[in-house]
Every structure is written in structure tokens, then in C-alpha cells.
Amino acid sequence: MHRFVPFIAVAASLLVLPGLGDPARAAGPADGPRRVSRMDFGKTPGGTPVELYTLSNGRITAKVMTYGAILTELDVPDRNGKPGDVVLGFDSLEGYLAGHPYFGATVGRVANRIGGAKFSLDGKDYQLAVNNGPNTLHGGNKGFDKVVWKAEDVSGPAGPAVKFTYRSPDGEEGYPGNLDVAVTYTVTDQDELKIDYKATTDKATPVVLTNHSYFNLAGPASGTILDHEVTLAASKYTPGDAGMIPTGAIESVKGTPLDFTTPTPIGARIKEIKADPVGYDHNFVIDPGARPAARVRDPRSGRVMEVSTTEPGVQFYTGNFLDGKVKGKGGVAYQQHQAFCLETQHFPDSVHHANFPSTILRPGQTYTQTTIYKFGVDSVPGLDRR
């Protein structure tokens, strides 16, 4: 069994690993102590300026821009202390403006799919954008991933932090109510990327927010993630139809290729998935009280990511639709299964299933969601491995 070793434990061991200097920062990138910095990152076609914020605790560094509140970069050390980016994306704003499969994006007003691109609420019917077969996906044609958010440095005792805010007006993409949204990214002293979501509304409306980062713990140019070892604290899932709209059933993963209740390489059973293109794109029901909800280990780099969340579900997606047409960081053509996503959220199409946890937010209520990505390594030479 591979032990999760936090970077702060690596530093505390006072080991000077190859290529490293000050042992107090043994596993961290050489870009200084905890901090937040800002830079201009270009303009939208309409002339709206876009800013890029860098958050660092001296070991891990996250970069998030105001366009789409998108996580563009996440640098994390490997088992030898060498930092490397672990998310897919682009080197400049232009790549994101040209269209992409939600790399690093804050997704809303409703993440995932709504069947038939419509729903009824309090006796009124609402028609949404049809942008995924006959359904709506990730907020519609211009979801939260395609708007410019306001940003504010809100760093505090927990670590460097930036809060992104946006008002989604009544009727945007067909959804009712003015929705005020805040998404706060924090790089904590515990080597976590913590994302806190809040929203309020003046009319009843469905709300499901998530982050859609594509992870490759070996690096965006390292090939497929089929050797990444995944554990999901999810003994059940929500089966869906050919369009990935849930049937309403909640079934056991036991005896299926969806069983990740014990550590399993992503590629071990992926060809058993009956889908075109082949791969995982399923909503898993997180076991009550599970923490972490997911754990991913890359055997090549030794990087380990643990995901904890307040949400009841997580969409596990393996980049099935990447086909080499999108060229990302360093000109790398992103191929099928070159990344995975763990989208923490309420279940897809919940507005049509009374047995699913409700996604309806009403005036006077506050939507909250917290997801934490904690990073470490599987083992470090010289550490106590008991």
C-alpha cells in the first residue's frame, strides 16, 4: 500500500532531495513564500480586460483568471520535489476564447446535463439552450465559463485566496432569477487547493456549481492517464441513457467496471464501458461521510491527489472526447484519455428526479459548496513509512 505523504511532512523531515535547496521548502517550487499576485492576461473580443491571479504557498502554485474563473495552471511537486503543472489548458487567453471542453472552468448555472433542455418549477416551464444533443450541458451556450468575473484578494490565515464574483441576470440562458455567485480559491498551508462556492437568488432557480479541471498528475504532455490509480468512496452510481441522462435509478457499482472502491488503474476495465467514444463519464454517489471522496495516484511522478467535498456526487470523466484537434500548453495535441475530471456536484438532471437531492435554491437561502484538492506524494526516500 502506498502512503500519502504531505509536502509539509517532506519539508519537516529535513531531507535535502536531489535538486533542492532550503530543506524548509524541500518539496516546493522556487517561487517564494505564500503570496497572491496579479497580471493582465489580455482582453475579450468585446474589449473587456482579463486578469490572471497567481496564488502560492511556497510549495504549490495555482493560477486562476477572471475569464470563466478558470484554473489555468496548478504546479505541484513530484516525489523528487520537482514542481510540474498537473492540469490541461492553454498558454494564453486566445486558446480559451477559441473554444475548449471546459478546461479548468467554473461551470454553472447548472453543471452537467438537464434532459430535454427544459424543466418546470413552481408551475412554470423554462426552456434552456440545446447544446448537447437534445439536452443542455454546463449552463448553456454562454455559461459561467464564458463570462468575465470580478476578482478580489481575500487572503487570510488559511492562506493566499482570491474571490471571484458574478451576477447572472434573470433569464440568462433561460434560468429564472438574478443569481449572485462567489467562488473563492484558496491555496492553504496544508497543500490544498480549496474552492468555496456561494450563491443567492431573488427567484427560485436550480443551481449546481463545480470546477471542470482536467487533471494529469504526470503533466499535460505525458500521454494518457490510464495508469493513474483511482479510488472512489462511492458504492453506488446513477445509470443513464445513451445521452447520459440519468434514469432515476441508483445502483450498486459492485460487479461492474465502475467499481473503484479499491485502488484501480483507470485503464484496467475502461474497455468494458459500453460507450462511444469509450471511457468513463458517470456520476458516482459518494458514500455518506466519506472523506476523502476520491484519491488518485500517479505511479510515474508519485503525485497523489485527494478530493474532499460537501457535495453528494462526483462526475468521473476520462477525457473521452479529446481527439488531438485541441492544441494546448506548449503546442501539445490533447489526445483521448490524456486527462481525467472529478466534478463534484449534485446529480445530473436532478430537476426531473424527485428522489435525487434537490438543486433548487430559493430566495432567502444560500447555496454553499466546498471542494478541496489535497496534494502529496506516495513515498519519499528516507521518510518514516510506518
The total number of structural domains in the chain stands at 1
**Mean confidence (pLDDT) of the chain:** 92
Beta-carbon contacts of residue 103 (< 8 Å; ≥ 6 apart): 70, 87, 88, 89, 90, 96, 212, 213, 214, 328
- Asked whether residue 383 is assigned to any structural domain, the reply reads no
What are the counts of helices (DSSP H) followed by strands (DSSP E) for the chain? 2, 28
Residue 5's pLDDT is what? 79
- Asked whether residue 144 is assigned to any structural domain, the reply reads yes
- Asked whether residue 248 is assigned to any structural domain, the reply reads yes
Residue 379's pLDDT is what? 73
Residue 17's pLDDT is what? 27
- Asked whether residue 84 is assigned to any structural domain, the reply reads yes
pTM over 0.85: yes
Beta-carbon contacts of residue 181 (< 8 Å; ≥ 6 apart): 108, 144, 165, 166, 167, 168, 197, 198, 199, 209
Residue 9's pLDDT is what? 60
Q: Is the pLDDT of residue 233 over 80?
A: yes
- Asked whether residue 12 is assigned to any structural domain, the reply reads yes
- For 61, the domain range is 5-377
Q: Where is pLDDT greater, at 224 or 21?
A: 224
Range of lowest pLDDT (30-44, 82-96, 189-203): 30-44
- Asked whether residue 386 is assigned to any structural domain, the reply reads no
Residue 354's pLDDT is what? 97
CB 361 within 8 A of CB 207: yes
Please state the rounded mean pLDDT for residues 69-88. 97
Residue 338's pLDDT is what? 98
Alpha-carbon gap, residue 384 to 386, rounded angstroms: 6
- Asked whether residue 382 is assigned to any structural domain, the reply reads no
CB 151 within 8 A of CB 137: no
Q: Is the pLDDT of residue 24 over 60?
A: no
Residue 177 belongs to domain with CATH number: 2.70.98.10
Q: Is the pLDDT of residue 384 over 70?
A: no
Query: What are 306's strand-pairing partners?
Result: 295, 374
Kind of pairing, strands 341-345 and 313-317? Answer: antiparallel
- Asked whether residue 54 is assigned to any structural domain, the reply reads yes
Please state the rounded mean pLDDT for residues 110-125. 98
Residue 1's pLDDT is what? 57
Q: Using pLDDT thresholds of 50, 70 and 90, give the confidence band for residue 380.
A: low
Q: Is the pLDDT of residue 13 over 60?
A: no
Q: Using pLDDT thresholds of 50, 70 and 90, give the confidence band for residue 10.
A: low
The residues that are catalytic are 212, 343
Residue 32's pLDDT is what? 52
Residue 8's pLDDT is what? 60
Residue 7's pLDDT is what? 67
